[in-house]
Structure 1
């Protein structure tokens, strides 16, 4: 019978096997993303996903500027328990935001993950709105998971992060990150997410694929959407499809809205050569794109395939059910707390800068179809 296991899974299982039989031990380095791609005769996006999967399972640690190393501490929680940092309270520090924003599954699942690990370890967990609490108390019993936002006077600015670091605040960044600050962080691998969404459409025969991103302009896009756009470009490049700037629409807003997707899709569908598929980069924009397509008399997915991003509850019940990318932010929340509880030395923070990437997953539903289905 033909082996149907995805290649990235084969790489993961191979490395796990080498750990199990003793070929790879705690602290051993493993091949780089480029080297793994060569060894397994595959693309870098596949080797990147394999490394992200291993990191997500706590089997490897990726150290900026040094490489990827075997780490078995997460697989041995009882052994590590006595070594954990003793925190009494963990704060989720965030910029001022409307209360309903935390109902979005990205944030609600993220908070669920944080709360679960805090509860397991007897740690108090609280939200901390930086706009209400300008001064954050720094002491050895408090840790912070920080959600940096757009630079603003009362927001989580780079200047404020630097000040907290200098004051000795034990913190981990989440969702957004600033490598130059050398602060540990946990993110969803948005580049891989953008790649998976676009590669799925390409596999269905689509070549004119529109993309709707959130930002002020093509040169001013926030981090998560820029990475999804990079994943989109990478998928096109690997399949020999030229990047066409006219297929990119940038919509500005403080939060994701259906209207953004509607307006963006209308712009794309008005082109002389409109796209046969749209990657909307969020589910809410995808719902708007669906409405735009239907108003133009297009059947989804027969005439227009659409992919979202986030896996909000409505995506399962839209008409048609939306193909989307699930981010697993509950895992991101859990890993953020686990990273806070891991013992650090000053040297490790400065020289062994840890980056955790949570691997997203493509969920194929009913809003995408082969391009040759079109009437």
Structure 2
């Protein structure tokens, strides 16, 4: 520390002033890392409570930003007359049913966004754009945008309009690379691959899929990618793709009933599968119910694997093997891109990130039964 504290300025304020001086002198540059609060406390001979307050107030004043798990960094100063820093982040959606946000895909994402915002003194709220596509009045707000609805009726022309207005937007769940809008998504192809590879590693060669959609040509983006991951895993084991092993369930919302119907359809085949990849936990639970009603033991006679890792999946009997989408990390990255990575001039190329899901093996999947012929 180059300067000494000679007046009665509170120590937290003294630390702030010294860091500001080092920024103005060029000793600290944009995106340079700062010492941890423990290191700052030692450097200035004070308590961690004091150094924590100094860092928090520097965040509030826009001098410093924080990235979870990485530390505190010097904020890039906006040019005079340029856009103001983001002080509020909104999760914007169009008429989405509020009850759907209790699903872990969203609830975990909200936790991730909220934690990054709180660490940086940023407000976080939800916002329904409604039929008139009205964004918050604050033109400097950051927008985490969900474009999907039950009927996929989002007017994509609005995205172009918002771009022209200079709105700071990152999309989640679905993405539009041709528009150059930053996005964060879960890698559903890898998720489908991990699920199928798990079943293949247990010796299964006849693996059925219960998929949401009307047909292979009418499946939305996320389920189409999960199916691609399924096909990729099969191809790596020199197994042909058999269309009759895909049960399409046409519905607007995931349900247990879809899984039950899909399971019965697949088990009615002349050569039924020995394992089922239900592309959501709700469908997987329905499949487990149908298996029990048909007198089939899980996993001894049929293995069942879901997708989403909803809270009740671990409580099922047997506990449900599934794929966790890691959407808390998705939320963290969406907030970090808005707060720290967007360029006001639009330069630097498309900002994007794909979150890799995690396989969660439990008791509903096991070795292929002897009745199966090895392929």
Coarse TM-score class (shorter-chain normalised)? 0.7 to 0.9
Is structure 2 residue 140 aligned with structure 1 residue 141? yes
Q: 1:83-232 counterparts in 2 under 5 A?
A: 86-131=85-130, 134-137=133-136, 139-150=138-149, 156-232=154-230
Relative to the length of structure 2, the TM-score reads: 0.76
* CA pair 318-274 structure 1, distance change in 2 beyond 3 A: same
Shift of 1:108: 0.8
* CA pair 80-272 structure 1, distance change in 2 beyond 3 A: farther
- Gaps spanning 5+ residues in structure 2: where? 1-30, 32-66, 79-83
Larger radius of gyration: 2
Give the distance between the partners of 1:223 and 1:138, measured in 2 at CA.
31
Q: After superposition, give the CA deviation of every residue in 1:149-203 in whole Å (9 maximum; x if it has no partner).
A: 14869x5431111211121110000011111111010011111110000000000
Q: How many residues align?
A: 302
Q: 1:1-375 counterparts in 2 under 5 A?
A: 77-82=71-76, 86-131=85-130, 134-137=133-136, 139-150=138-149, 156-345=154-343, 348-349=346-347, 352-372=349-369
Which structure has more RCO (C-alpha within 8 Å, separation ≥ 6)?
A: 1
Give the distance between the partners of 2:164 and 2:300, measured in 1 at CA.
56
Q: After superposition, give the CA deviation of every residue in 1:16-72 in whole Å (9 maximum; x if it has no partner).
A: xxxxxxxxxx9xxxxxxxxxxxxxxxxxxxxxxxxxxxxxxxxxxxxxxxxxxxxxx
Contact preservation (8 Å) 1:303, 1:373: no
Q: After superposition, give the CA deviation of every residue in 1:102-124 in whole Å (9 maximum; x if it has no partner).
A: 11111111111111111111111
Give the distance between the partners of 2:257 and 2:270, measured in 1 at CA.
23
Q: After superposition, give the CA deviation of every residue in 1:318-370 in whole Å (9 maximum; x if it has no partner).
A: 01100000111111111100000124336655x61122011111011000011
2:170 alignment partner, SS class: strand
2:369 alignment partner, SS class: helix
1:187 alignment partner, SS class: strand
* CA pair 336-205 structure 1, distance change in 2 beyond 3 A: same
Contact preservation (8 Å) 1:83, 1:343: no
Structure with the higher fraction of residues in helix conformation: 1
- Gaps spanning 5+ residues in structure 1: where? 1-25, 27-72
Give the distance between the partners of 2:125 and 2:131, measured in 1 at CA.
13
Give the distance between the partners of 2:359 and 2:151, measured in 1 at CA.
34
2:72 alignment partner, SS class: helix
Contact preservation (8 Å) 1:151, 1:157: no
Give the distance between the partners of 1:77 and 1:331, measured in 2 at CA.
16
Give the distance between the partners of 1:265 and 1:249, measured in 2 at CA.
8
